[in-house]
Amino acid sequence: MFNFCFQNPTKIIFGKEQIATLTNNIPKNSKVLLLYGAGSIKRNGVYQQVSQALSDFSWLEFSGIEPNPSFETLMQAADLVRREKIDFLLAVGGGSVIDGAKFIAAAAVFEGDAWQILAEGAKVTSAIPLGCVLTLPATGSESNGNSVVTRYETQQKLGFSSPLVYPQFAILDPSVTFSLPTKQVANGVVDAFVHVIEQYLTYPVNAAVQDRFAEGLLQTLIEQGPLALTEPENYDVRANIMWAATMALNGLIGQGVPQDWATHMIGHELTACYGLDHAQTLAIILPALLQQQREQKRAKLLQYGRRVWQLSYSNEEQVIDEAIALTKAFFQQMGVATQLSDYKLGAAAIAAVEAKLVQHNMLKLGEHGDITPQIAKQILQQAL
């Protein structure tokens, strides 16, 4: 096991009818800015619950934070924060709204051009405190210090991390996810699944607890994900998926182990080039990447096949083949197609992704740094 340092200060408030606890979790006398997206929270009752819980506070709202939140929009919100002397941000939505709130929190008090936080990794030394109400389980943003922002004018998608932008609290009420479109639920399950895989399916370092926890999350998503599609109002199913998605990327399972993230990096370029959903890109790339990296990942692929998929073949190749095939079948079962051709992309589409990886200096991806843009091209060719 590698050395590690882990701290996650976010207070998780999980369960039915917990949105009302906002009142006690935002510091008294705060001036609050409510941040949200396109307005689905006005249709599913969440907006009403939130505004009721905010009735003791002075508050304003800012809506229209995009999926893949834009720098331009977020800077408008940051201006509003400064102008109105806001001292608490409340993000209500999925990963995009929460990621956006984190950037607003840092940008509003940043001295100088806030773009430097993203483009140059300028250190965040203070931030407006924030909390969140999660409506879409997927990214884990509700209890980590990471944020990804897109600058549309230059087509750059960049991230930053800071311990100062962890949400102070995250309210997770699984019942608010009942009304999500099926596609978003499915994408969320695939996203969380691949978050776990990126931190697990590398090479063994004898980190027994981390491996068992990762396997437990994968098994949970495999078991509960399809039930969310067939029993959309089953509270426990939604609760299990929501908690699994948070645990998948709150930092815990990635401590002391090697991490991969090549599937995500290649996927980001595929989204940038052709507008596929993030989870769709993961479902395409991961099975092909596992195949391409089967030697480097052999020991962990065997462990994954045996423990997660309960495969008992004595033939190792058969375990690995079947583990990859079952992974692909799971994504398909969730309704997320796994081939480029399913999205009407052919061999001609691959060169642009390879070029983007070169342009963004993504030259040595993966836990061994051996996934070059050339290898990424081969992976995509296997996913045609």
Catalog residues that contact a second copy under the rule CB under 8 A.
1-16, 18, 205-213, 215-217, 219-220, 223-224, 236, 239-240, 243-244, 247, 255-256
Closest approach of Cβ 13 to a second copy, in Å?
A: 5
Q: Contact 52/91 with Cβ under 8 angstroms?
A: no
DSSP string, 118-178: HHS-PPP-----EEEEE-S-SS-GGGSSEEEEEEGGGTEEEEEE-GGGS-SEEEE-GGGGT
CA of 69: how far to CAs of 8, 332, 365, in Å?
24, 28, 25
Q: Which is nearer to a second copy, 210 or 280 (CB)?
A: 210
Closest approach of Cβ 161 to a second copy, in Å?
A: 16
| Whole-number Å distance between alpha carbons of 229 and 251 | 28
Q: Which is nearer to a second copy, 13 or 158 (CB)?
A: 13
Within 258-372, where are the H helices? 262-274, 278-292, 298-303, 316-333, 350-359
Q: Which is nearer to a second copy, 130 or 244 (CB)?
A: 244
Burial of 312 (0-12, 13-18, 19+ CB in 10 A): exposed
Q: Which is nearer to a second copy, 124 or 253 (CB)?
A: 253
Closest approach of Cβ 139 to a second copy, in Å?
A: 17
Closest approach of Cβ 190 to a second copy, in Å?
A: 17
Closest approach of Cβ 224 to a second copy, in Å?
A: 6
Q: Which is nearer to a second copy, 123 or 212 (CB)?
A: 212
Closest approach of Cβ 257 to a second copy, in Å?
A: 11
Q: Contact 91/111 with Cβ under 8 angstroms?
A: no
- Maximum distance among all alpha carbons in the chain? 67
Closest approach of Cβ 140 to a second copy, in Å?
A: 13
Closest approach of Cβ 78 to a second copy, in Å?
A: 28
Query: Structure tokens of 286?
Result: 């991961």
Q: Which is nearer to a second copy, 28 or 43 (CB)?
A: 28
Beta bridge partners of 31: 58
| Whole-number Å distance between alpha carbons of 223 and 231 | 13
| Whole-number Å distance between alpha carbons of 263 and 282 | 6
| Whole-number Å distance between alpha carbons of 273 and 359 | 13
